[in-house]
Each structure stands twice: as structure tokens, then as C-alpha cells.
Amino acid sequence: MARLTHLDDQGAARMVDVGAKAETARSAVAEGRIRMSAEALEALMSGSGPKGDALAAARIAGIMAAKRTGELIPLCHPLGLESVTVEFSRESHAISVTAKASLTGKTGVEMEAMTAASVALLTLYDMGKAIDRGMVIEGVRLIEKTGGKSGIWTAPD
């Protein structure tokens, strides 16, 4: 059976030793979406761009969270990210997010991209919840990663 690399032989959690891995250029892209009522969607989109800071707040929250991934996720390595971007796009009943992160280092940045996407979506929830408490975050997943021993990986479909 597959074993979790984050646990040692006795099952104890550990931060895996990446000291012997090579420093390579690495990147990761994650996406997700928050489904909401037409009214909440309209308010969040109108509260952005010329009219307000709504998407800007969520974007910045995502970028800042990416930098703190190592503090939030217990067994993640602290990383010196070299870039982070967070983009939103309007869907018919949702706002979707795409987060990208990259660095030159010994371990990948999947968690940084996943964390940026999640916190950006949580921030949208926070801003819209007075209008629609029933918003749902869904489809948060890795889309692509590059670098490291395993090279390029792309999500099926």
C-alpha cells in the first residue's frame, strides 16, 4: 500500500528532508470557484474595478496567504517565493480563481498555489456573505506543476 511521505515508520508527522534535492525552477497553478446567487455575484463584480476594492482585496489576500503557507500547513517547508499571481474570472453563477506561484528551490510550490486560491475564495465569501450566506467553494485543485524530479504534470481533463 502507498505510504504517506509526511509520516515516518512509526506514523509520526515530520517535515520531510529535502536537503539532497536539486534546486530547480518550479511552478504551480491552482484553480477554484465560489458559486453564489445572482445578487451576490452582481454585488461582488460591481464592487470591483472602477467601483471598488472587492476583487482587489481577495487578490491581495491570496497573494499574502501564499507567502505564509509554511505557517499554515504544518509539514510544508518555508519557501522564498519568487512570484505569485491571483486572477479572477466571472462565470454565470460563480467567480473562479486561478493562482500561480513559482520559485527556484528544492521543493514544489503546489501548496502555495492551492493556499492562494483557497484564501482568495474565502475572502470573497467574507465579502459576499451578508448577501448570500449559502455560497459554496468548489473545485479547488492543482491544474499544473513544473520542475523537480517529476517534471511537468497537468490535471487530467
Whether residue 111 is annotated as binding a ligand: the answer is yes
Residue found by looking up cell 455575484 in the block:
41
Whether residue 23 is annotated as binding a ligand: the answer is no
**Smallest gap from residue 107 Cβ to its own copies (A):** 8
**Smallest gap from residue 93 Cβ to its own copies (A):** 14
Beta bridge partners of 87: 98
Provide the grid cell at 83. Answer: 512570484
Q: Is 108 in contact with 77 (CB distance < 8 Å)?
A: no
**So which residues are the catalytic ones?**
126
Nearer to its own copies (CB atom), residue 46 or residue 91: 46
Whether residue 64 is annotated as binding a ligand: the answer is no
Provide the grid cell at 134. Answer: 449559502
Burial of 74 (0-12, 13-18, 19+ CB in 10 A): exposed
**Smallest gap from residue 96 Cβ to its own copies (A):** 13
What's the half-sphere exposure (Cβ side, CA atoms, 13 Å) at 98? 7
Nearer to its own copies (CB atom), residue 37 or residue 92: 37
Binding-site residue set for substrate: 75-77, 111-112
Binding-site residue set: 75-77, 111-112
